[in-house]
Amino acid sequence: MGQSVMRAAVAAQVPGIEALCGGNCVCATCHAYIEAPWYQSFEAPDETEKAMIDYTSEPRDNSRLTCQLQVSSAHEGLVIRLPASQH
Amino acid sequence: MDDATNAPRAEVEHLYAEYDHLAPPIGQDGTPYPYFEHLRDAALMAEQPIGWSEKHGGFWVVTSYAECQSIIANPIDFSSAGVIFPKYAVTEPLMLAEQDEPEHMRGRRLVNLSFMPKNVANYAGAIKTAVHQLIDGFIEDGHADVGKIIAEPIPAIVTALLMGLPAEDGPLFDAWTTACTHEFLADPVAAAPKIAEMYTYFEENIARRKQEPGDDVLSQVINAKIDGDSLTHKELLGFSTVLLIGGIENSAKLIGTALWRLAWDIELRRRLVAHPQWISAAIDEFLRYYSPGTVGRIVTNDITIAGKTMRRGQQVILALPIANRDPREFPHPDCFMIDRQNNRHLALGTGLHSCLGGHLIRMEARVVLTEFLSRIGSFRLDTCLPTNWIRGQVTGMSRIPIVFDPGERVSSERGAGVDAWLRHASRI
């Protein structure tokens, strides 16, 4: 709770979330697809994140950079899926 | 403490005092890694992850993963102004690399999207074509120096494309980069006119791009506004040099060292030939195992880390080739494992300054290795000729003489960039 999805994933050694820039929304290597209904439960992405998502290798409608997603009690049971590659 | 406890500490302090990141001893395997492993083991045994080197006027050396990571992630107490030490022979500060916040991020946002995966993927086809044309230049011979004719040309050809510069100027870029980053220390008289030539070249290209903007990264930077202002002429020169040096240095060393390893590591080569889908993971392991770059910082506030008090203004060198072999982060650190999980190496930095070209270098190396192995699946080092490990702040194997069974050309076409490199390598 109170941390980003990226931080939680890295702490849990989840493979596939690289997060090279450490949560600064610079590298787009923490890209993930957020399953319904949780996608709508996060604040909408800002312009910087939206632009970066567009230039990931496989953007989809439910793409997010997980360093920008703050976890709260509303996200109990959150399911995310990872792209084949972050590069 | 008794003498027995002091002995490891005395040994590692001596090793730190003699440490020179620009001139590590080269071992019998042709690399500095036997020395790096020795220093790492001594530091681990003495529990001294940080030491003081007496070289280059004195600087702190950090050899452990955790401390390197925490320093890179701490832009408050450590400035990137000291990323290169001693400074390269450039007259304008390196934009982005030597900048701190908020200036760094303002500049980075100007070019960041150009280096995202979808944009760098646009260059994959051109790289593939260039690799095959270069191979066509020597495949009938059965021998080649693939440092000179693959690892050096490809990054220069890609950088020319990215920056909107003539591809045939690639050999010049390589000579200028070497002059700025290596030659200026060994032979400053020879390096100076090359560096002057580089700035004149960029002056002309900046002027041309102002008149005729293209869709290249240099045009983007020239025509960008930051808080309503254009970049100054000096800043544009600083951007040009950082894109040139950044585009060429790490990629050439990564590709060269990988080809050298594949020339003698038969098991690894066979696995990658049989399973090219593993090449991407292998590239990150190459980056960890033979990390090309060592980076520095300057202390901006007095701070104590691992029992060492660093004073404001002091230089720190993060020995990434050693930190990326830290057994506390990487199990079996001296084993080359292409199936390594969570390979969070620091070879391309981390945090705000994580490498702008991180996606590009991975794609570039993946295309080169995939295409090279598809044409020349079996090759070995020509042991009659020497290899050469380039030492400096960015290091790697640069002379890689190989022999193989001659093959056939697939095409007689040559792009301008490839033609210039083949002429440069005296193949015509």
User: Quick check: B66 and B42 in contact, CB under 8 A?
Assistant: no
The domain over range B3-424 is classified in CATH as 3.30.360.10 = no
A5-81: CATH number? 3.10.20.30
What is the model's pLDDT at position B366?
98
Q: Is B341 on the interface with A (CB under 8 A)?
A: yes
Q: What are phi and psi of B378, to 5 degrees?
A: -140, 125
**Closest chain A residue to B345, measured at CA:** A20
- pLDDT tens for residues B241-286? 999 999 999 999 999 999 999 999 999 999 999 999 999 999 999 9
- The CB density around residue B227, as the number of other CB atoms within 10 Å, is 5
Which run of H or E residues covers position A28?
none
- In the sheet that holds B401-403, the strands lie side by side as B143-145, B401-403, B380-381
* pTM confidence score: 0.95
- pLDDT tens for residues B294-327? 999 999 999 999 999 999 999 999 999 999 999 9
A87/B117 touch (CB, cutoff 8 Å), yes or no: yes
For A11-46, b/e burial (b = at least 16 CB within 10 A) is eeebebbbbbbbbbbbbbbbbbbbeeebbeebeebe
Q: Is B212 exposed, middle or buried (0-12, 13-18, 19+ CB in 10 A)?
A: exposed
- pLDDT tens for residues A5-42? 999 999 998 999 999 999 999 999 999 999 989 999 99
CB neighbours of A87 closer than 8 A, spacing ≥ 6?
A: A29, A57, B117, B280, B358, B359, B362, B363
B350/A21 touch (CB, cutoff 8 Å), yes or no: yes
User: Quick check: B217 and B192 in contact, CB under 8 A?
Assistant: no
Residue B85's alpha-carbon distances to A58, B24, B91, B97, in angstroms, are 39, 15, 15, 12
Bridge partners of B298?
B79, B315
The mean per-residue pLDDT over the stretch A49-73 comes to 95
Which run of H or E residues covers position B48?
none
CA pair distance B130, B158, nearest whole angstrom: 9
**Smallest CA–CA separation between B211 and chain A, in Å?**
28
| Both tokens assigned to B164 | 């909107």
**Cβ contacts of A22 on chain B, cutoff 8 Å:** 73, 350-352, 354
**ipTM over cut 0.90:** yes
- Determine which of B120, B122, B352 to mutate to test the interface with A (most A C-beta atoms within 10 Å): B352
User: Quick check: B281 and B291 in contact, CB under 8 A?
Assistant: no
DSSP B84-121: SSSPPS-SS--TTTT--TTHHHHHHHHHGGGGSHHHHG
What is the model's pLDDT at position B223?
85
What is the model's pLDDT at position A78?
93
**Cβ contacts of B363 on chain A, cutoff 8 Å:** 87
CA pair distance A41, B99, nearest whole angstrom: 37
CA pair distance A83, B369, nearest whole angstrom: 23
* Residue numbers in chain B where pLDDT is lower than 70: 1-5, 426-428
Q: What percent of chain A has pLDDT over 70?
A: 99
Nearest to A13 among B280, B342, B351 (CB): B342
User: Quick check: B313 and B54 in contact, CB under 8 A?
Assistant: no
CB neighbours of B208 closer than 8 A, spacing ≥ 6?
A: none
